Structure 1
Amino acid sequence: MTLRTNTDAPPAPPPASDKGLRSGSVGLLGAVALGLSSTAPAYSIAVTLGLVTLTVGHLAPASLLIGFVPILLTALAFRELNREMPDCGTTFVWTTRAFGPLAGWLAGGWVVQTATLIAMTALSQVGATYLLSVLAPDRYAGSTVAVTATALLLLAGCTAVARRGVQIAASLQYLLLGLQLTALLGFGAAALARPGASAPSLSWLNPFAYGGAGPFAESVLLCLYIYWGWDALITVNEESRDADKVPGRAVLVSTCVLLGTYLFTAFAAVSFAGTGTDGPGLGNPDNATDVLATLAPPVVGDALAVLVKLAVAVSAVSALLSCLVSAPRGTLSMAAHGALPPAFARLHPRHRTPAFGTLCFGAATGLLLVVLELLSARFLGDAILSIGLLIACYYGVTALACVRYFRSHLRRSARDLLLKGVLPLLGGLMMLAAFVRSAIDMYAPTYGDTSFHGVGGVFLLGIGSVAVGAVVMLALRPRHTRFFREGRRAVAELTVTEPTED
């Protein structure tokens, strides 16, 4: 086939390619469940709301709302790109088509997978910690060995479920997500109904009431993290019904549900606890890293507070499962298009899932968790903080890829100009601005718990992971010459077809 690659028109979209995944197995509701679960809403709001409140006080809801804006603009870019190129490689394929193989492999592939791997390490640990705090708070919750062992068991279980197929994973997510949302909405309703709770105020959404650019930027950057993960649902586009439409709709539905859930919980928490610096106040540094654990007992009582803790554990495990569904599909696409070794393109003969990739991600997560725990818990904490840099990087590049790819469409209609040009451009610039701001803040040696020769460990881990990716890419380049020589053509057709494994 002949592809147009001139500067005036985007290349022809790649044809629908059959990588062997089980098509038509995921509907709109299943895709939404995967998207919501991958953000870990109960865990995300529990560990972030207090930090946001420490930064901007009662304006935490405003930060949640403003932080949603670049997320929504980026989601629109994902929707338009998926309509044109429904491929489970998502950002890898789209960025390659827009900017070429180097940007596609590094920003659309490596950065995404690295962020997911670090997140999976954190989620397995968090899920284990909260689970043990419910089942055996006095005996095992404070034991590093017990937490790590439980995390590895959870990881093994999620890997086994993900390997069985996306239908089973989506069905399980309905239950896990239902528990999370019920716990959050129940907590919020109880908090608002408690005697002494103040009435919510619209002034808490005032974007002009911040005390300066610094607190505004820091709080919005924190809020970007709690929305991250919804794009995992796009990776099951080849297994979705109406692959060019359903994932895009699911993206918008899931992000809007997240916004509503987070705002409701934030309003309820601020109304009940206030922003004071002592007791249950959200401005108390002792409460910052887990507001739900602090507020649940006085809001719903000790017995139901256990269910809130369980919801946070379920939230982490649910997100871990979503990551194990999405990440191997990204590497499957990269391998199928000749950008990774062919082994990653292997599918399970019966379940039609990327079994090799799923097992690799499960094993790599377990290994990284053990290594970081052996080194120091401080390294794991800083690795988690570095995810923000990686998120802003690949979200921003993908949004700009939308503008680049559809540049010849922008004069066709007002809709194309707005949804394929103006709004994705704004979203991309916001994300890249967040990347620069994050990098500047993280460079300080006082940012996070580690530093090296006066440079913050979080910065080194974030930028360092990108640098490592560049080195790996250069090492792989001689073995994948076709992809790196003609990436746009390579992602327009399958290079490797390895449908089964023994």
Structure 2
Amino acid sequence: MHEETHMHGLKAKGLKKGSVSRWATVTIGLAATAPAYSLASALGYGAATSGYQLPIVFILSVIPMFFVALSYKYLTTAAPDAGTIFTWGTKAIGPRVGWFGGWALLLGSILAGVAATQITVISVAIIFKVDDMTLWFHFGVAFIYIFSTTYLTALGARESSRTTMILTFAQYGVLILLAAILFVRVLQGEAVGSAEPFSWEWFNPLAIPSFDVFLKGFMIALFIFWGFDASLAMSEETDGNAEQAGRSGVIAMSITIFTYVVFSIAALSYAGIDANDESSLTHANNIDSSITTLATDILGKNGALVAAVIICISAFSATISTIMPSARIALAMATYRAIPSQFASVNAATRTPKFATWTIGMMTLIIYTTLSLMSESIVEDTILSVSIAVCTFYIVAASSCALYFFRTAFNHWHTALLQVILPAIAAAILFAVAVLQAWNMMDPDYGSSGSIAGVGAVFIIGVVTLLSGVVLMLMWNFYHPAFFRGETLPLERAHMVLDKDEKRIVNTEIAKNRD
């Protein structure tokens, strides 16, 4: 007998195979994590919550994420489908779980686009020295930003992936240079006076003050590590076989964790965490923009300009890298009749889902504009709310891997560990974290937007909008039930199949019994 671990019944969607190189898929995953703007917005808060234990918090937090990356690797090998979470969840668990996982990814991508737009608006204001940002400035920059990123994504997978590669190399080059200068300054004894010298104790998990501290650090890590999987939605367009495409997520995750840990060590060693020191990462004026603080200390008054430019580049490449996979998720959902068929259209010239791409771009612009009119702090809290959607579709991915391979994985101890046990652990951890985070988000004091009817605004933005997908799913189930009946994408699990000789023996035995 042999293992049958390839999903059947998957449909071609008109995407161009080979339009994205294997290294381009890795850079898409790296760009989607947006290291420059993620560190700029999260490093200060991570240092404030975890202190000098931030490197070990990053490492511990990435463990379940790495298990999820393994799930992506094996599921991509089994089904290199542009639908990723949606397709895998539907095949391994059921249509409703698959649909909801796809919705969570779409919602997370749009909210991430809103956050990136806000960061870009602030960075552009710094670049052009705009002190008074009017609504016209906000909306003008937002429109140009979202229109340009959507347009480049709609041009084609080859063009958008090449643009992403160039921008990714640019931001990583600056981050590497900045980290190197920080280490040199530390070695020369030019670190901030209140900063503690590097110690291996920073990697001691027992030195983390409390579980609450770890949980806060975990949620920050979840936000900045999210995106490594973006490249896997391009597997139908990636050069090479499905197994090679599946490795891209693991490679992107490995490079990302190395980058964040090394940069956090450099930043902590140089700037420290003394909130009373004006050069510290956790000072009130620095905590929202740690990259700007570090660049200014090193380069002088031009540092803020350099930081703003690199953060803009990071946000721009990240937005392209999140629009690409989310458009392909919508394409796959429409192909299997889980959403309206208009989203299944692929442009004949560019071989990209233009309708889905432009719809996602315009939804991002509409949501950003609406939230900006309501409150500037609501836009900021959108960043905090993304974590629930991310947890949701990662849970679906890990659970799908464990359930799909359950029948075949236990034939070998290593496949049982990598395909079932570790993904199941990741799903359990992320579920617990999501529940705890949702509970915390209900607190009116959580975030900066206050409460609505006594419930934290962050909870409403994150959880209520996520659960609104249930209503949309029920409406589509009523209107077009074929997908939910399993007619367009039936449930399937990996299973054992008889070899030719074994089939012949079985058929012979059956014939004898009939005689």
- Mark yes or no: TM-score above 0.5: yes
Between the aligned partners of 2:327 and 2:303, the Cα distance in structure 1 is: 37
Letter in 2 for 1:217: L
Between the aligned partners of 2:303 and 2:294, the Cα distance in structure 1 is: 12
| Deviating 4+ runs (over 4 angstroms) | 9-12
Counterpart secondary structure, 1:481: coil
Residue of structure 2 aligned with 1:126, choices 115, 119, 136 = 119
Counterpart secondary structure, 1:66: helix
Taking a change above 3 Å as real, the CA distance of residues 24 and 12 of structure 1, as seen in their structure-2 partners, is closer
Between the aligned partners of 2:352 and 2:50, the Cα distance in structure 1 is: 45
Aligned to 2:289: 290
Between the aligned partners of 1:250 and 1:214, the Cα distance in structure 2 is: 33
Between the aligned partners of 1:291 and 1:432, the Cα distance in structure 2 is: 31
Residue of structure 1 aligned with 2:166, choices 154, 158, 175 = 175
Structure 2 unmatched runs, 5+? 493-515
1:46-92, CA deviations, whole angstroms, 9 ceiling, x for partnerless residues?
11111011112111111111111111010000111111011000000
Letter in 2 for 1:270: L
Letter in 2 for 1:300: L
Q: Show the 5 A alignment for 1:277-356.
A: 277-278=275-276, 279-356=278-355
- What's the offset of the Cα at 1:218? 1.1
Q: Does 1:26 align with 2:24?
A: no
Aligned to 1:417: 416
Structure 1, 339-348 or 299-308: larger mean CA deviation: 299-308
Residue of structure 1 aligned with 2:29, choices 25, 30, 35 = 35
Structure 1 unmatched runs, 5+? 1-8, 493-502
Aligned to 1:459: 459
TM-score normalised by structure 2 residue count = 0.90
Between the aligned partners of 2:372 and 2:349, the Cα distance in structure 1 is: 36
Letter in 1 for 2:39: I
Between the aligned partners of 1:128 and 1:321, the Cα distance in structure 2 is: 16
CA RMSD of aligned residues (A): 1.8
Residue of structure 2 aligned with 1:249, choices 229, 247, 250 = 247
Aligned to 2:67: 73
Figure out how many residues of one structure are paired with residues of the other and give that number: 481
Between the aligned partners of 1:487 and 1:68, the Cα distance in structure 2 is: 38
Taking a change above 3 Å as real, the CA distance of residues 487 and 77 of structure 1, as seen in their structure-2 partners, is farther
Counterpart secondary structure, 1:318: helix
TM-score normalised by structure 1 residue count = 0.92
Taking a change above 3 Å as real, the CA distance of residues 47 and 186 of structure 1, as seen in their structure-2 partners, is same
Between the aligned partners of 2:279 and 2:362, the Cα distance in structure 1 is: 40
Between the aligned partners of 1:426 and 1:214, the Cα distance in structure 2 is: 20
Aligned to 1:427: 426
Between the aligned partners of 1:487 and 1:56, the Cα distance in structure 2 is: 49
Taking a change above 3 Å as real, the CA distance of residues 260 and 185 of structure 1, as seen in their structure-2 partners, is same
- What's the offset of the Cα at 1:258? 0.7
Residue of structure 1 aligned with 2:107, choices 114, 118, 142 = 114
- What's the offset of the Cα at 1:486? 1.3
Taking a change above 3 Å as real, the CA distance of residues 377 and 138 of structure 1, as seen in their structure-2 partners, is closer
Aligned to 2:217: 219
1:188-216, CA deviations, whole angstroms, 9 ceiling, x for partnerless residues?
11112113336422211111101111111
- What's the offset of the Cα at 1:454? 2.2
Between the aligned partners of 1:249 and 1:301, the Cα distance in structure 2 is: 41
- What's the offset of the Cα at 1:16? 5.3
Between the aligned partners of 1:333 and 1:491, the Cα distance in structure 2 is: 16
Identity %: 29
Taking a change above 3 Å as real, the CA distance of residues 286 and 341 of structure 1, as seen in their structure-2 partners, is same
Q: Does 1:149 align with 2:143?
A: no
Counterpart secondary structure, 1:332: helix
Letter in 1 for 2:129: P
Q: Does 1:60 align with 2:51?
A: no
Aligned to 1:90: 84
The structure with the largest alpha-carbon Rg is: 2
Letter in 2 for 1:453: A
Letter in 2 for 1:248: G
Between the aligned partners of 2:488 and 2:10, the Cα distance in structure 1 is: 15
